[in-house]
Structure 1
Amino acid sequence: MTTELDSTPTTRPPEPDPPGWRRLITFPAGRRAKFLVILGWLVLAGIAGPLAASLTSVQNNDALTSAPHSSEAYQAQQRVEGAFPGADALVAVAVYTRDTGVTDADRAAVEADRAAFAQYALDGTVPAAVPSEDGQALLLSFPLAGDSDAQSDATTEIRDALSEDKPAGLNTALTGSAGADGDIFDAFEGMDLMLVLVTAGVVTVLLLVTYRSPVLWLIPLLTVAIASQVASAVVYLLAKNAGLEVNLQSQNILTILVFGAGTDYALLLISRYREELRRHEDRHQAMAVALKRSFPAILASAATVSLALLCLLFADLNGTRSLGPVAALGILAAFAAMTTLLPALIVVCGRWLFWPFVPRVGDVVEREPRVWSAVARLVRRAPGRVWGASAALLVVVAFGASTLSLGLPADETFTSEVGSVTGQRLVEQHYAGGTSAPAEIVVDADRAPEAVAAATGVEGVADVADARISEDGRTALIAATLADRPDSAAAQQTVERLRDAVDDTGAQVTGQTAAQLDTEHATDRDHRVLMPLILAVVFLVLVVLLRAIVAPLLLIASVVLSYAAAMGAAAVILHLIGYPRLEYSIVLTTFLFLVALGVDYSIFLMTRAREEVRRLGHTPGVLRGLTATGGVVTSAGVVLAATFAALCVLPLVPSVQIGVIVAVGVLLDTFVVRSLLVPALAVHVGPKIWWPGR
């Protein structure tokens, strides 16, 4: 809760009419303008609702698994799809096993399935079942016919058929790309609504605790819900008409960011409005002043996060690149709603919204809460020791990150066992590990014999099939079964050897393992390029906002240290819940969120501190900024951490990892960096922190 230093309120005289841009900022607080703002947003919400509900229909989740467009795997896959129609179809791999050996009844059941599955197969036929060498398994593998909807329906029907009318003791499972795709669809069915409900519930509880009012919490929650609908509608329109890519990951993060950032902006504005209600009898004037005072910090926050997100447009990795504009649109929608619709709604409702703690002119204003007064005294007495101890703590915690590893196996992607994972394990028990997802070699048809010969001698290749020639006779496709499971490091090393072996023939290698290998290489490149770019963008925004060089440098250093500590602290939790192996894109995604969102709280602190420094002098001004923003920034940090933690309800391990790391990082920023490290550094460095400004 933001409070005043003075024990009695002061009623300020009416301020002169603001210049043009400030008049625009305060427009929602106008006596008639507030109704126009509300009407405009209601119309917008009415239009946005149906469009937002259709967002799932334009999802393209291929970007989450496909290799970068510049990679060999992607280029080879494009070559395959051009020469072999239907080559991009999902592949169904049905596996049947019996520990005591396959019986005649089992073989008859498999043949019956083979005949039944022909209606779903690309060419109308399913190849003969492949027996395992140990005699304990049979395997059917075939591409599916039709468009994505038809393939999805076929996957469901095949999976149902595998579980019905089978001889007792025969184990069955569906794996391959069709099985994995079906498991993802099933896992996320209804999860969009679940995520919204959990996030809204978390925000509701925290707003009730923060405001201690049975009514006030409804206004920011309603506003952020409308902002979420508008953001989803805009993303839908751009995805449908302008080629913007959206996938299940970016849609979920869009929801989290709008609720989290929007609530933070609401807390900052309402806190300042409550201060001004103790100074101004007219609530319209109080809101106008609150908007003028809080708008720069909210704008700086939204600009920092949005520009940092747009840095992802320079990523090689498809899923990472598509996240940037989608999430940035969410931040902009939250910013627009919280600086226009929210103040208009609050002013319409009047002071009674704060019941039972209604702020009035003439009230005795609370002094700073004891905790923030104590923190300010500690920082004043020993700033060097405070920031030194805080930094040392973060460094020690950061060492925990060394216990994490990169590379999440496919069978650990889901938080619970799914059919495709079960099927892959059955395949590995009885066949070469890469049977369900062979490497694919594409080469000119006249050089196919050379490619087959070269591939046959590669270590780690269990089998090389005969070349399949395209209808025009120009291109050959060769399937090379790997000895190891497709998502293993050993399989990736085999692909590298395979590429070297067939390189002289002009061949290219694609397939699941090759795509994963190229994706990891692209991720390494994105880390090297985008992390410095994000830091540079955030630094420039801070320079413009604070009109200084020293302060932005210190803030950037603090968020980098905080990120390292967040990874270390989160490692403890991830080990406890069994997810210490990070999906490759997690490092960059969490870095982006923690740098951009983490610096927000320092922005809120330093903009208020700079305002107070002009009035009180450097050290008193910094400490006044700390005590004035302590409550609201702490509440904002807890809200944002809790909203990201809501990602843990999703059934994918990468979502859980993002939720844990970002939530832990935001809490560290809130309680250590913003509360101790940054203010202690500001006091210790002195007025030079504003250099070259004054």
Structure 2
Amino acid sequence: MASRSETTPPASTPSSARLAFAGSRRGRWPALAAWAILAVIGFTLAPRLGGIQDDAQINWLPADAESTEAKHLAETEFNQKNLTSLLVVYTAETPLTPEAHAAAAADRAALDALAAPGERTTGPIPSEDGQALMLVVPLADTAIDADGEALFAEADAIVQEGLPPGLEAGLTGGAAASRDMESAFEQLDGPLTWMTVAVVALVLVLTYRSPLLLLLPMVCIALSEQLATGLAYLLGRYADVTINGQNTGILTVLVFGVSTDYTLLLVSRYREELLRTEDRFAAMRAALTASTPAIVASAGTVVLALAVLPLASVSSTAALGPVLIAGVASAVLASLTLLPAVLSLFGRAVFWPLVPRHDPAEAAAPAQRRHRFWGRVAGAVSARPRLIAVATTTGLLLLSLGWTGLSIGLERSELLTTETASQRVSAAMAEHYPAGAFEPVEVYVRDADTDAALAVLEAAPGIAQTEAPVRAADADWVRIDAVLADEASSDAAEATVRDLRESLAHNDTVSTALVSGPTATQIDLAAGNDRDLRLLVPLILAVVLLVIVLLLRALTAALVLMACTVLSYAAAVGAANLVFKGLGQDNVDTSFLLMGFLFLVAMGIDYTIFLMTRVREEVPRWGHRVGTLRALTVTGGVITSAGLVLAATFTVLALMPLTMLMQLGILVCAGVLLDAIIVRSLLVPALALWIGERFWWPSRTARRPTPAPAPERQEAND
């Protein structure tokens, strides 16, 4: 005879009954009505998000960085707010003819029509070898934002028309590079969403082979994504949260990924309960009662980890927290209210054509018989827990050695995964002008300190040339542009800027100096990310550890699980770095380690939480050893499917043209697969069996259970 715990739903407490209200006979209608209102709100607000998206460089910098202060100074004192330069480069294989100079001069006059109000085109500036000319067109960011494609097309038409034979011309500079980045971010809207939908749909089809279980969850997930996007708009519009291409792109992937995880967990438990009871509403109540703690704990872990991000000094990282919290909250709300209400409308028919019938005998059958593959996995872990624990730990440690040689910091040419026209023009320009001419250093000093600052610049070995000082109109400030001898994103250029800052700071005749420009910005961003990594990683670890301790009420288990998660992260970084080397990428983005840690520790712990909440449910009935193995057996399929979904959705990022997101996608994919398949399936249960009942210290979760009836004793022996 099967025990009551195997044939009937868990008893409902008042709190769990309230949580299960949305899937009840009467509660589904209010839930659907409420979501109809939320859907209208989401679809009304979501399209407005693009209107407040701001990818200006200053929004990616640490608020207290020297380059950030310099940019504010440039805007307020030099009227350089929202200005960027478009470079027109003319090259030939032989010294330029008078016709070439005349063509460039004519273009300069025509390009003045595109320049920002009150600005004029500079040049032509000849190269020392006489084979290149350069025009500098100051453009307004507002004009680029309004219709950048048309503006660049007009500029290119002006330049290409009437070119003398043998003369080539192209567009590059900060404006062109920014346009390349904006074009890449634009691909994070439609294509990213549809690719994510396709991946999730494929996994749902392969998992359930039911048309309704493809359609209904996808509708729920889509509504939660629209609600999350609408909330992100409200945060950006009224809460002063910076909205940029990074956080909106990750938001879409996150909502689809975690929503599908929660969907798989709830649907799997619902199907299990339908075998035990005839009443579909009772089955939904039992499924929600059993699944909600794991879903809430998982979501709570992610939310609390994201809640520390506003402490980051890097503005883009700080803004990511509130935006993604909105996404997780929407996903949880939809999973625990909308999805149960929708599923309860269809009952068993939602699983057609593989409809689960009420079958108490099947529900009471040994877990190994109902989940044969995972039963064999559990058997292998049970037979040799120490060997499996040592082998998997060793394998992960070896994989983490791939971390060796990881180089932090992308060069400008590496920001995109494909070469653009502006990058090709920039490369041609570097053959004729100093390597740093494209991105000069900007030094801001007081007027009285101009001569002393010029002396420091001229004595610096990494400075190729210094331009004439530019004075602010209404203030006692001077800007001096200096051309670097080395490419602006190179290590040599960074060393020059650091030395320059040091020299100016310790020069007694220079009262105040701010060093900015692309190289200085790169240095400040890297320093900010490094500082945030050292601050946020311990905080995230502490938050996750606290959640697991409260969930399991076991300190030993929590410490073991955290150690496994950190080891999995290290192995994922090593594996990702090996992939990057195979792709010919020698460097990673400065935010790579922090963003990867956030997603893999806060989200990768989901699968361990899903497993351990089931273990904690089974152990009091069966004892530590059998309960652990049963939990592994019955959750193996759904958790692995959830891991594959999340890995697949983040793989979509790997197909994007932005190197930063491509690298993050590969890292999270590798980490989730390692965590869902290796850590959760083998390492954690093996360590739990090896440690024994001390795994639950100081709680009494593993106290010896009441002897089970004969069929259950037989399953325990199996």
Task: State yes or no: 1:217 paired with 2:214.
Answer: yes
8 Å CA contact 1:379, 1:676 repeated in 2: yes
- Which residue number in structure 1 is paired with residue 448 of structure 2? 446
- Which residue number in structure 2 is paired with residue 384 of structure 1? 386
Q: Match for 1:206: what amino acid? A: V
Equivalent in 172, 175, 192 of residue 172 of structure 2: 175
- Which residue number in structure 1 is paired with residue 284 of structure 2? 287
Distance 1:209 1:530 in 2: 38
Q: Residue 159 of structure 1: CA displacement? A: 3.6
- Which residue number in structure 2 is paired with residue 434 of structure 1? 436
Task: State yes or no: 1:138 paired with 2:133.
Answer: yes
Residue deviations 1:513-535 (CA, integer Å, cap 9, x gap): 11111111111111111111111
Residue deviations 1:519-557 (CA, integer Å, cap 9, x gap): 111111111111111111100111111111111101110
8 Å CA contact 2:119, 2:138 repeated in 1: no
Equivalent in 311, 317, 327 of residue 324 of structure 2: 327
Secondary structure class of the residue paired with 1:61: coil
Task: State yes or no: 1:226 paired with 2:228.
Answer: no
Task: State yes or no: 1:574 paired with 2:580.
Answer: yes
Task: From the superposition, tell whether residues 87 and 276 of structure 1 become closer, same or farther in structure 2 (CA, over 3 Å).
Answer: closer
Consecutive unaligned residues in structure 2, runs of 5 or more = 701-718
Residue deviations 1:607-640 (CA, integer Å, cap 9, x gap): 1001000111110000011001100000000010
Q: Residue 79 of structure 1: CA displacement? A: 1.8
Secondary structure class of the residue paired with 2:439: coil
Q: Residue 164 of structure 1: CA displacement? A: 4.1
> Where do residues 104-253 of structure 1 align in structure 2 (5 Å cutoff)?
104-122=98-116, 123-145=118-140, 147=142, 149=145, 152=148, 154-253=151-250
Distance 1:606 1:24 in 2: 24
Task: State yes or no: 1:371 paired with 2:377.
Answer: no
Q: Match for 2:684: what amino acid? A: V
Matched residues, number: 688
8 Å CA contact 2:111, 2:137 repeated in 1: no
Q: Residue 6 of structure 1: CA displacement? A: 7.2
- Which residue number in structure 1 is paired with residue 716 of structure 2? none
Distance 1:427 1:678 in 2: 56
- Which residue number in structure 2 is paired with residue 508 of structure 1? 514
- Which residue number in structure 2 is paired with residue 315 of structure 1? 312
- Which residue number in structure 2 is paired with residue 97 of structure 1? 91
Residue deviations 1:65-94 (CA, integer Å, cap 9, x gap): 743111111112212222111254111111
Task: From the superposition, tell whether residues 351 and 95 of structure 1 become closer, same or farther in structure 2 (CA, over 3 Å).
Answer: same
Task: State yes or no: 1:62 paired with 2:64.
Answer: no
Q: Residue 400 of structure 1: CA displacement? A: 1.2
Task: State yes or no: 1:643 paired with 2:649.
Answer: yes
Task: State yes or no: 1:26 paired with 2:20.
Answer: yes
Q: Residue 51 of structure 1: CA displacement? A: 1.4
Consecutive unaligned residues in structure 1, runs of 5 or more = none
Percent same amino acid among aligned pairs? 43
8 Å CA contact 1:66, 1:74 repeated in 2: no
Task: State yes or no: 1:652 paired with 2:683.
Answer: no
Task: From the superposition, tell whether residues 89 and 197 of structure 1 become closer, same or farther in structure 2 (CA, over 3 Å).
Answer: same
- Which residue number in structure 2 is paired with residue 304 of structure 1? 301
- Which residue number in structure 1 is paired with residue 487 of structure 2? 485
Distance 1:663 1:473 in 2: 52
Mean Cα deviation higher: 535-544 or 426-435: 426-435
Task: From the superposition, tell whether residues 574 and 107 of structure 1 become closer, same or farther in structure 2 (CA, over 3 Å).
Answer: same
Q: Give the TM-score, by structure 2 length.
A: 0.93
Task: From the superposition, tell whether residues 411 and 10 of structure 1 become closer, same or farther in structure 2 (CA, over 3 Å).
Answer: closer
Residue deviations 1:157-177 (CA, integer Å, cap 9, x gap): 324433444234322222221
Q: Residue 137 of structure 1: CA displacement? A: 0.4
Distance 1:502 1:354 in 2: 71
Task: From the superposition, tell whether residues 17 and 137 of structure 1 become closer, same or farther in structure 2 (CA, over 3 Å).
Answer: closer
Equivalent in 397, 415, 418 of residue 417 of structure 2: 415
8 Å CA contact 1:8, 1:362 repeated in 2: no
8 Å CA contact 2:651, 2:665 repeated in 1: yes
- Which residue number in structure 1 is paired with residue 500 of structure 2? 498
8 Å CA contact 2:484, 2:493 repeated in 1: yes
Residue deviations 1:228-277 (CA, integer Å, cap 9, x gap): 00000010111012211111111110000000000000000001011111
Cα RMSD between the aligned structures?
2.0
8 Å CA contact 1:90, 1:151 repeated in 2: no
Q: Residue 312 of structure 1: CA displacement? A: 1.5
Task: From the superposition, tell whether residues 610 and 64 of structure 1 become closer, same or farther in structure 2 (CA, over 3 Å).
Answer: farther
Q: Residue 10 of structure 1: CA displacement? A: 6.2
> Where do residues 530-609 of structure 1 align in structure 2 (5 Å cutoff)?
530-609=536-615
Task: From the superposition, tell whether residues 460 and 375 of structure 1 become closer, same or farther in structure 2 (CA, over 3 Å).
Answer: same
> Where do residues 466-477 of structure 1 align in structure 2 (5 Å cutoff)?
466-477=468-479
Q: Residue 306 of structure 1: CA displacement? A: 1.3
Task: From the superposition, tell whether residues 64 and 559 of structure 1 become closer, same or farther in structure 2 (CA, over 3 Å).
Answer: farther
8 Å CA contact 1:379, 1:386 repeated in 2: yes
Distance 2:358 2:92 in 1: 81
Q: Residue 655 of structure 1: CA displacement? A: 1.3
Q: Give the TM-score, by structure 1 length.
A: 0.96
Mean Cα deviation higher: 390-399 or 518-527: 518-527
- Which residue number in structure 2 is paired with residue 614 of structure 1? 620
8 Å CA contact 1:267, 1:636 repeated in 2: yes
Distance 1:285 1:431 in 2: 76
Q: Match for 1:431: what amino acid? A: Y
Q: Residue 338 of structure 1: CA displacement? A: 0.6
Task: State yes or no: 1:74 paired with 2:74.
Answer: no
Q: Match for 1:293: what amino acid? A: A
Distance 2:142 2:376 in 1: 65
Equivalent in 451, 455, 458 of residue 456 of structure 1: 458
- Which residue number in structure 1 is paired with residue 687 of structure 2? 681
8 Å CA contact 1:641, 1:667 repeated in 2: yes
Distance 1:663 1:145 in 2: 40
Task: From the superposition, tell whether residues 108 and 361 of structure 1 become closer, same or farther in structure 2 (CA, over 3 Å).
Answer: same
8 Å CA contact 1:452, 1:466 repeated in 2: no
Q: Match for 1:629: what amino acid? A: T
Distance 1:522 1:489 in 2: 17
Task: From the superposition, tell whether residues 63 and 464 of structure 1 become closer, same or farther in structure 2 (CA, over 3 Å).
Answer: closer
Q: Residue 147 of structure 1: CA displacement? A: 2.7
Q: Match for 1:513: what amino acid? A: T
Secondary structure class of the residue paired with 2:166: coil
8 Å CA contact 1:11, 1:361 repeated in 2: no
Q: Match for 2:585: what amino acid? A: Y
Residue deviations 1:392-441 (CA, integer Å, cap 9, x gap): 01001111121432121110111111122122212211111111211111
Q: Residue 16 of structure 1: CA displacement? A: 6.4
Equivalent in 27, 31, 39 of residue 37 of structure 1: 31
Mean Cα deviation higher: 193-202 or 421-430: 421-430
Q: Residue 685 of structure 1: CA displacement? A: 0.9
8 Å CA contact 1:64, 1:247 repeated in 2: no
Post-superposition, which runs of at least 4 consecutive aligned residues in structure 1 deviate over 6 A? 5-10, 14-17
Distance 1:407 1:591 in 2: 17
Secondary structure class of the residue paired with 1:167: coil
Q: Residue 96 of structure 1: CA displacement? A: 1.1
Task: From the superposition, tell whether residues 150 and 279 of structure 1 become closer, same or farther in structure 2 (CA, over 3 Å).
Answer: closer
8 Å CA contact 2:10, 2:289 repeated in 1: no
Task: From the superposition, tell whether residues 558 and 241 of structure 1 become closer, same or farther in structure 2 (CA, over 3 Å).
Answer: same
